[in-house]
Amino acid sequence: MTAATDLDKVAADLFIWQAYDPAVKADLFSSAIVTADGIFVVDPIPLRKAPLAQLHDQGVIAGVIVTNANHLRASSQFAERFSVPILARRAVFPDRTPPQFSELADGEKICDELNVIGIEGAVAGEIVLHCASGGGTLIAGDALINFQPYGFTFLPGKYCSDEKEMRRSLRKLLSYKTDRMLFAHGLPILSKASDRLHQLLDGDL
C-alpha cells in the first residue's frame, strides 16, 4: 500500500491522511484524534516519515483503533512502532489476535472523550467512534461513506452482512451530538454533520 505524503489538520484535535490503494481501486482515509490521554490513530494507512513526525509532535501516540475486520491496514506497524495496543472488537480478529490486541465493546469508553458505538449488520466488528469535544465528532468505519459517485450514504448492501440491520443499528448515532464526521472511505464533513445524518437516517424510515 502506498504511504500517504500529507497530514491534514481538519480541526484543533483532528487529523486525516489519505492515499490511493490500487488493490481496491479507491482512496483510503485514516484519522487521528488528540485527547487528554494521547493520540488515537484510527484505521491507519502508512504515513511518510515527515508527516508521521508531524503527527507525533502533537503528543504521545496512545493507541491504534481498528473499526472493522477490513481495516487492518498498517495497524500492526503503528502498534509495534509506538508500543501501543490495537483496540478493536473481537470479530475483527476471528482467528488469531495480535499480541497488542485490546478488546472493545459496544458502549465502552476508550478514554473520557472517546465512546465506542457498535454497528451490527455491516462488516464484521464494525464500530463508530464519538468524541464529544469541540461540538462533537463521529468517526465511521465502513457503515457510512462519503465519496463519488455515491456521496454521503450507507455502505452498499453487497458489502453488508445484513443491510437492514445495519441501517437500524446506525440510528444509535442520532443520540450523539456531532458537528463533524470523518470516514475511512471519503472526504470529511466538517460542519452540521448532525443535520446530514438526520436527513440520511430519517429518509430511510
pLDDT in tens, 111-128: 999 999 999 999 999 999
CA proximity to 42, closest of 194, 167, 181? 181
pLDDT, position 91 = 97
Q: Are 73 and 17 in contact (CB under 8 A)?
A: no
Domain 8-202 indexed as CATH 3.40.50.300: no
Question: Which residues of the chain fall short of a pLDDT of 50?
Answer: none
Strand extents, DSSP E, 61-168: 61-65, 86-88, 101-103, 109-111, 114-118, 127-131, 137-140, 144-147, 151-154
Q: Are 200 and 178 in contact (CB under 8 A)?
A: no
pLDDT, position 203 = 82
99 upstream amide cis, omega within 30 of 0: no
pLDDT, position 205 = 61
DSSP class of residue 75 equals H
pLDDT, position 2 = 83
Residues 7-18 pLDDT 10s: 999 999 999 999
Please, which residues have CB within 8 angstroms of residue 85's CB and are 6 or more apart in sequence? 63, 64, 79, 100, 101, 102
Cα gap 59→17, rounded to integer Å: 17
Cα gap 44→52, rounded to integer Å: 11
Interstrand relation of 61-65 and 86-88 (parallel, antiparallel or unpaired): parallel
